[in-house]
Structure 1
Amino acid sequence: MKVQLKKIADQVMVITGATSGIGLTTARKAARRGTRLVLVARNEDALRQLAGELTSEGCKALYVAADVGKEEDVRRVAETAIREFGGFDTWVNNAGVSIFGRMEDVSLEDQRRLIDTNFWGVVHGSLLAAKHLKEKGGAIINIGSEVSDRAVPLQGIYSASKHAVKGFTDSLRVELEAENAPVSVTLIKPASIDTMFVPHAKNYMQVEPQLPPPVYAPEVVADAILHAAAHPMRDIYVGGVAKLTASGAYHLPRLIDSYMKRFAFKQQQSDKPAQDRERNSLYRPVGDGLRQRQGRDGRVHESSWYTQAALHPTATRVLMFGAGLALAALWNSRRSSA
């Protein structure tokens, strides 16, 4: 069955992790395009502020304070969307947390908590969304990572959670397709993104963590999410380096191991002393306002040619064909004048 998705302006969209980073950026972009929103996060004060902001700009937005690691909380989100809006068309599982540190140093309690949010949060949201969307059609969009395909040191349990998200998402997609359900299931795999990911992570290292370059803007991910909400896609790599990493992990795993041993540790450790380890969002939200970006010192890529090409393959082929014809014409003209 070919899945038909509504235009963004005609949709009701549920976004988890909506008060920070990718979720916040996506909510603001969707609101400007007329989407009705169900905003989900643990921080009720931030949710109230965001809903007020978007409502003042003409968007219909409501919020539900919820911990996605708890099934009853996520069920309450779905029930609210159905009661207030008559349902939803797209469900974005974006909420996530991270931990920096060697696997042997990170407590099992912290590892379990991360899995509750990053993996079980996706499972809870996806299954509830699938049950609703099988009746009316729509999209489930799960936020994975480039580490869904290639784990990295110092973020071992985070990598494990994103591997699990990929496995669950791929299996769910095939099961829904096998029963001809009118549901699109997309996995988004971003590279390093300038969000509050690092400040919100729990840090076991002696120095402050940092993201390895290249780093992209959250708007690049938000654009990919909104595209997938209206155009069925299997998966989307955000940033060409994410696709390169996945290809390298598949074709040259030992070479990538060697690269990781040599560079990945240094790339994720800054020269700044570690701050208070207890200031993190693993168990409770950090009250630092509605922030889309950390404000990285180095360069942040505001666009990705690779991702744009992946989202618009037909237009890309036409442009490349046109460029080829132009180069051929230029070459022939030079040969004729020689």
Structure 2
Amino acid sequence: MKSTLKPLSEQVIVITGASSGIGLETARSAARQGAKVVLVARDGEALQSIVAEITAAGGTADFHAADVGDPEAVRAAASHAVQRFGRIDTWVNNAGSAIYGKLLDVPDDEHRQLFRTNYFGMVHGCRAAVPHMRDVGGALITIGSIASDMPSPLMGAYAATKHAAKAYVDTLRMELANEGVPIVVTLVKPSGIDTPVAQHAINHAGGEAQVPPPVYDPKLVADAILFCATHPKRDLTMGGAGRAQALFAAHFPHLFDRLAPKAAASFVDPTKEQPGPGNLFASAATGRVRSGEHPAARTTSLYTAAAKHPGITAAVAATIAAGVGAFVYGHPSRDPDRPARIGRQGDRA
């Protein structure tokens, strides 16, 4: 299999979940760089407004309203993109929602709906995109999470959907490669990102749901997605601190089992109330990229910058180890994206 990914300025990119958060930031960034963008989400009025904004700024965009849980609607979105722009070069499965709460406290209907969006929405996207890309190639990108690689107390249902998505994407990659299909299948795994995802979540944990720390700016994920649209990558984790946590969970599972539930206390703010309504069953509060609650969200990631270019990844290997140590010893300020702290007296990594 050999796939030549086009420059962004020559691409047609379809993005699901494009009415807020990572999807909206990615759509705007892709359009600024010359791509033709098709935005997909449930709220057609919101998408129309966003497309008008992108067009007014000189970009080229269109939209198709669709619930990713409906396979026919997703296939219709793919057909619309081809009819409008002639092809699909990159498809981004980004639509998603979240539930906060202990697993036994999550009602069955909410658990099923979460899988309908986060897992089956991704499945429907792949099944809609591949027929249009099978002969000509392109990039098929799914947005997972560091929760794809580790359990997450208070976000167990969300983590389960991301584990399932990872298994599907990894298997689809193998099957397409075995058939010689020139599609690059990529899983992007963000750490905690400053989007409205927690504000849009269903929350059974009390207080106000929070984005699990450390928190990064959505632009970093948009940059990572568009990098993968033009560079063949199997997977890419956005955020060294999140990668360190996943490594720690994999290599020290028993210790992680004891520490993770305590760390999950930071997933809710007991002094506030959960805003509503949530977006699990219907579109809500669209049009915002950021939550407005994390003005100091990180705008750089040394680990991700290195991971984009494997030849220099060894240069940050020590910082990954430091991040694992930071998680073990409970010092969140020490992580792979803060290399200047390594080697200070008292650091243990």
Compute the TM-score of the two structures, normalised by the length of structure 2.
0.87
Which one is further off, 116-125 or 197-206?
197-206
Contact kept in structure 1, 2:81 and 2:88, CA below 8 Å: yes
RMSD (CA atoms): 1.7
Q: 5 Å matches for 1:14-33?
A: 14-33=14-33
Matches within 5 A, 1:295-334: 295-297=292-294, 299-314=296-311
Instruction: Tell me the equivalent position of 2:95.
Output: 95
**CA deviation map 1:236-266 (0-9, x unaligned):** 00000221122122211111111112222x1
User: SS at the partner of 2:95?
Assistant: coil
Are residues 1:194 and 2:194 paired? yes
**Structure-1 separation of matches of 2:65 and 2:13:** 16
Matched, 1:182 2:179: no
1:269 matched to 2:271? The reply is: no
Q: Which moved more, 1:290-299 or 1:110-119?
A: 290-299
Q: How does 1:132-143 map to 2 (within 5 A)?
A: 132-143=132-143
User: Take 1:275 and 1:238, find their aligned partners in 2: how far apart are those partners?
Assistant: 27
Structure 1's unaligned 5+ residue stretches are 321-338
- CA-to-partner distance for each residue in 1:86-139, whole Å, 9 max, x for gaps? 111000000000111111111100110010000000000012211211111100
Give, in angstroms, the shift of residue 296 of structure 1. Answer: 2.0
Q: Which residue of 2 aligns with 1:326?
A: none
Question: Does residue 147 of structure 1 match 2:147?
Answer: yes
Query: Residue type matched to 1:290 in 2?
Result: G
2:279 alignment counterpart = 281
Which one-letter code corresponds to 2:123 in the other structure? V
Q: Secondary structure at the match of 2:37?
A: strand
SS at match of 1:205: coil
Q: How many angstroms does 1:298 deviate by? A: 6.3
Aligned-residue offset at 1:273: 3.6
The equivalences for 1:34-45 within 5 A come to 34-45=34-45
> Counterpart in 2 of 1:205?
205
- Alpha-carbon deviation of 1:318? 9.2
- Over alpha carbons, which structure has the higher Rg? 1
What is the match of residue 324 of structure 1? none
| SS of structure 2 residue aligned to 1:175 | helix
2:268 counterpart letter in structure 1:
Q
- Opposite residue 292 of structure 2, the aligned amino acid is G
- Letter of the 1:3 counterpart: S
- Residues 205 and 274 in structure 1, CA contact (< 8 A), matched pair in contact too: no
Q: Distance in 2 between matches of 1:117 and 1:289?
A: 16
For 2:106 and 2:313, how far apart are their aligned partners in 1? Answer: 45
- Structure 2 unpaired stretches of 5+: 318-349
Identity %: 46
> Aligned pair count?
317
Counterpart Cα distance in 2 of 1:173 and 1:69: 22
Deviation at 1:57, TM superposition (A): 1.7
Distance 1:79 1:100, change over 3 A: same
Distance 1:136 1:314, change over 3 A: same
CA distance in structure 1 between the partners assigned to 2:73 and 2:38 by the alignment: 14
- Residue 325 of structure 2 aligns with which residue? none
Q: Which amino acid aligns with 1:239?
A: G
- Paired with 1:213 and 1:298, the residues of 2 have a C-alpha distance of 13
User: d(CA) in 2 for partners of 1:105 and 1:229?
Assistant: 39
